Structure 1
């Protein structure tokens, strides 16, 4: 990695214990990121050991075994770490970790899925409001980089089949409008900033119907950046050649922060 560039990676691994058996540690070391933000670890403390020399490790676990969960592996020790968003209703599923640095916050988020038949859409709607409040409170102090599986394809360009998936989980008007509103509070979808019209760029594919082979996917994994900090962002990427999960990693490159 160039000395004057920082690299951040986000990846929903869909079960860390499973992906450890597929070479996760080597993949992580090869990515050589300053920070690797993980979603959907599906484990509790002590159920797996991740050997990443040179990285500090931070974990947030769901109360429910084998469900949700997040982690951040970072080369740079933060000045403070926060788990959750400070709202009890949403803080039992291990969905958020926030690292505070001198000049910015780095946050990993695994946003709740609205579920089959949208059974959890009301919960998700409440989450979106609470999460927006949380990141805006942070952004009032210093710029924020938040990333993760946000479980929304924002625009029709962000999924292969928008017409047939309209009002399905991850592509409801509610979820899309909430994301639009969040961006409107002072945040930028980094990938679309650099590639506003690029099609066929996805980060998740169903395990069914040869979806990944046919690139019938959704872009639901993001790096979202406080708009003033975008002046330091040099690129955003989708690393769709990295295998091991039904999601691929996404990456953000910036000038050196802190």
Structure 2
């Protein structure tokens, strides 16, 4: 089973840049999209009616043109939900939870904390609410896959300029320590199972043309619970796929 994840920075915008062709070419079993910037009722038919895929999207969104996640899946999940049951975190449309029986998939666009202290506090609270949710799934013996834009580079290997960004949200000690905690709770950074070196990024600033120089951040991840580690057969980043300031990431699981 191949799973892909991509922050498209506007699904309707990326449609004009070959998104559907990319989706068909990849032919993945599951494709998780973050930052759609559109609610379900705003999705054009060329997105909602792609042959071979069931389509799910968060709706409504508290703010129009902001946040939003979507899911393309060949196999119809047993159930789909849209949050942790905490209104202040669910109203921004950041979470899709798809239960496939053999595993539970969470596709999440985690908050960005750069705008203000209030948004940083919101981000850290969201992190904790998410961790409580997946901890409960693990305690029930469920196998869990988590993917999305986590909006934090975990280690110095995951960012091109760690010293310059050490006091900015996205690379703050408190954010990185939370990721340490997340992994300590039994979740595996799939890419690091197969690749130990730095220089691999998933986001580049558009205004400074950072992608051309590979001055980036690895902030988009696939995590699996440790009871799925033996099922993990590959993990990868697709930096050559254009259309967004992020690029897709993916995993191969034997289910």
The TM-score range, normalised by the shorter chain, is over 0.9
Following superposition, the deviation at residue 44 of structure 1 comes to: 2.0
Q: Count residues in correspondence.
A: 250
| Structure 1 position 210, deviation (Å) | 1.5
1:119 CA displacement: 4.2
Q: Kindly indicate whether the alpha-carbon contact (under 8 Å) linking 1:10 and 1:36 is maintained by their aligned counterparts in 2.
A: yes
On the 8 A contact 1:118/1:168 being kept in 2, the answer is no
Q: Any idea what SS the aligned residue of 1:162 has?
A: coil
Cα distance between partner residues in 1 of 2:114 and 2:208? 20
Structure 1, gaps ≥5 residues long: 1-5
Structure 2 Cα separation of the partners of residues 232 and 45 of structure 1: 33
In structure 1, C-alpha distance between the alignment counterparts of 2:115 and 2:166, rounded to whole Å: 14
Q: SS in structure 2 opposite 1:73?
A: strand
Q: Report runs of 4+ in structure 1 exceeding 6 Å deviation.
A: none
Partners of 1:9 and 1:252 within 8 A in 2: yes
Partner-residue secondary structure (3-state), 1:176: helix
- Identify the residue that residue 11 of structure 2 maps to in structure 1: 16
- Residues 1:100 and 2:95 aligned together: no
Bigger drift between 228-237 and 42-51 goes to 42-51
- Taking the aligned partners of 1:48 and 1:129, their CA distance within structure 2 comes to 31
Distance of 1:8 and 1:174 partners within structure 2: 30
Matches within 5 A, 1:150-161: 150-161=150-161
- Partner of 2:23 in structure 1? 28
Q: How far did residue 118 of structure 1 move?
A: 4.3
Residue number in structure 2 paired with 1:112? 111
1:57-85: per-residue Cα shift (whole Å, max 9, x none)?
11113211000000010001111111111
Q: TM-score, normalised by structure 2?
A: 0.95
Counterpart-to-counterpart distance in 2, 1:48 and 1:74? 16
Q: Assess if the C-alpha contact under 8 Å between 2:55 and 2:72 holds in 1.
A: yes
Give the C-alpha shift of residue 200 in structure 1: 0.7
Please state if 1:72 is matched with 2:67: no
Q: TM-score, normalised by structure 1?
A: 0.94
5+ residue gaps, structure 2, are none
Match of 1:48 in 2: 43
Q: Distance in 2 between matches of 1:48 and 1:25?
A: 13
**What residue number does 2:250 align with?**
251
Q: Secondary structure at the match of 1:129?
A: helix
- Structure 1 position 174 matched with structure 2 position 174: yes
Equivalent residue number for residue 3 of structure 1: none
Moved more, 100-109 or 118-127: 118-127
In structure 1, what is the Cα distance between the partners aligned to 2:146 and 2:55? 17
Cα offset, 1:137, TM superposition: 1.3
| 1:91 equivalent in structure 2 | 90
What is the SS of the residue equivalent to 1:116?
A: coil
Contact 2:39 2:57 (C-alpha < 8 Å) held by counterparts = no
Alpha-carbon RMSD: 1.1
